[in-house]
Amino acid sequence: MSYPSPRVYNYIQKPRPYIKGKKRFSVYWSWSYPWESNRDVTELDNRFSTMTEVRRVAWPNYENIEFSEKMFLQGIAGTLELFHLSIVRFQQVIESVTGQPVPDYQRIDQAGQRLPIDERILEDTDTLMVFGLDHMITDQEASADEIEALKNWLKREDTCLIIGPHHDVGFSEDMTQRQQEYRHHGDRLVPRQQRFGKYTRSLMQGLDVPVENRFGLRPAVVTGTKNQIVPLIKQADQDARGWLQGVNTFNFHLHLPHYAVINDAKDIHVLARQPIDMKHPHPFIEAGNTEFNMFLWMPPKGERNGDILLADSTIFTTLFGGDDSLEQFWKNLAIK
């Protein structure tokens, strides 16, 4: 009988040697694990659900021994652990293509150990994925040293920075609008206000990436299905690298951010848009929109030899499903 490799915690990562054509991926969660998991559960807004709340809303999906109080954390920490578990498939797919393991870093981990983005991460990384799931109220922000380290890293050939700020639900002080947004996406686990991504926003500002994550929009699904997402609207003429070659859909998620391009910047290409579920009103729909920006690319320019991509973190998890099209997208990131 074969067993998977044992999971390791509190492990000092050994450097991965550079092998041409074998990209080294690293995942970086921008949150403070203690600050997120210690949030007051009586607060209605701007926190993750507890695992108990997840079990109640998603019943009976997590009613097994693996997710019981005997085996799994039941507070907010349990929900954070779900995110770690949900990228295992992505890690496996990337390692199968590149032959390189995919480490999973956190800005501040369970033991309170702080790890900013610096040479310890960048030295043996070719593709860095920064997942912006930090609530804004936890005040995570990229330092000047981190911005400088990333700028220098992006001067290297064959580097790629994938930035994934999540949604910004309920930014308005108008309670009626917040309720409208909530009814649009329909996820009982998302509060009326849940603003993510101060770290990734500061990163984008420091790196001159003219994008802002806005709203939490429900994508349209194929008629007669509950979660079969409709195909992407692709801009193939702008996809010179073939990032979306063989890719028709990502995975369905109830509340995806619109990556708004600021000031009509010309240096960034919107490679894919996602049609919106139009059955429930939303301010973005009322403004005349029927789709939102889903996947963006900033090709190398000037001293920056690396690519910058924008894609939501949920595209890389299995919490919300996945198929061959999604896995092809992951593989494209590894080989293009």
pLDDT at residue 206, as a whole number: 98
Query: pLDDT, tens digit, for every residue of 188-206?
Result: 999 999 999 999 999 999 9
Q: Do 251 and 314 meet the contact criterion of CB atoms below 8 Å apart?
A: yes
pLDDT at residue 321, as a whole number: 72
d(CA 60, CA 299): 45
Residue 131 has pLDDT above 60, yes or no: yes
CA separation (Å) from 183 to 42, 77, 199, 245, 295?
Answer: 22, 27, 28, 35, 25
**To the nearest whole percent, how much of the chain has pLDDT over 90?**
91
3-state DSSP of the chain: CCCCCCCCCCCCCCCCCCCCCCCCEEEEEEEEHHHHHCCCCCCCCCCCCCHHHHHHHCCCCCCCHHHCCCCCCCCHHHHHHHHHHHCHHHHHHHHHHHCCCCCEEEEECCCCCECCCCHHHHCCCCEEEEEECCEHHHCCCCCHHHHHHHHHHCCCCCCEEEEEECCEECCCCCHHHHHHHHHHHCCCCCCCCEEECHHHHHHHHHCCCCEEEEEEECECECCCCCCCECCCEECHHHCCCCCCCCCCCCCCCCCEEEEEEHHHCCCCEEEEEEEECCCCCCHHHHCCCCEEEEEEEECCECCECCEEEECCHHHHCCCCCCCHHHHHHHHHHHHC
Residue 14 has pLDDT above 90, yes or no: no
Selected residue with higher pLDDT from 8 and 164: 164
pLDDT at residue 1, as a whole number: 53
Residue 28 has pLDDT above 80, yes or no: yes
Q: What is the mean pLDDT of residues 116-120?
A: 95
Q: What is the mean pLDDT of residues 224-252?
A: 96
pLDDT at residue 5, as a whole number: 67
Q: Do 334 and 283 meet the contact criterion of CB atoms below 8 Å apart?
A: no
Query: pLDDT, tens digit, for every residue of 256-312?
Result: 999 999 987 889 999 999 999 999 999 999 999 999 999 999 999 999 999 999 999
Query: pLDDT, tens digit, for every residue of 226-237?
Result: 999 999 999 999
Selected residue with higher pLDDT from 35 and 10: 35
